[in-house]
Amino acid sequence: MIITIEGKRASGKSTLAEKITRGSKTVHASDSMFIGKFWNFLKKDTEYIIVDDVEDEELFRDIFDKDTIQVNHLNKKTFSMKTPHIILIKQYMK
């Protein structure tokens, strides 16, 4: 599941994402953390990923719109995992 939260700066987008994920194993990331080849911040039991400052929503839909993903960790074995729920936070620019 991919959820997009869009709003003005300081309008409560991150607070809403925190409420949605409360009690879950959640990873916080920024848009730029997905540019590299290695995602050392992901663990196999991650349930949610909150991505702040999303600029290219389609990139994330391409990466996460599947049942499982392959995760490459630097100096560790690559593993496959169930795709976590994704919350994309975008700043409304108008």
Q: What is the pLDDT of residues 16-44, one digit of tens each?
A: 999 999 999 999 988 888 777 668 888 89
In this prediction, residue 94 carries a pLDDT of: 60
CA distances from 65 to 11, 73, 76 (A): 27, 21, 25
- Checking if the pLDDT of 60 tops 70, the result is yes
- Checking if the pLDDT of 51 tops 90, the result is yes
- Record the tokens describing residue 76, joined without a space: 């560790």
Rounded to whole angstroms, the Cα distance separating 90 from 37 reads 23
Q: Are strands 26-30 and 48-52 parallel, antiparallel or unpaired?
A: parallel
Most confident of 18-27, 51-60, 65-74: 18-27
Rounded to whole angstroms, the Cα distance separating 26 from 8 reads 23
Rounded to whole angstroms, the Cα distance separating 35 from 33 reads 6
pTM for this predicted structure: 0.87
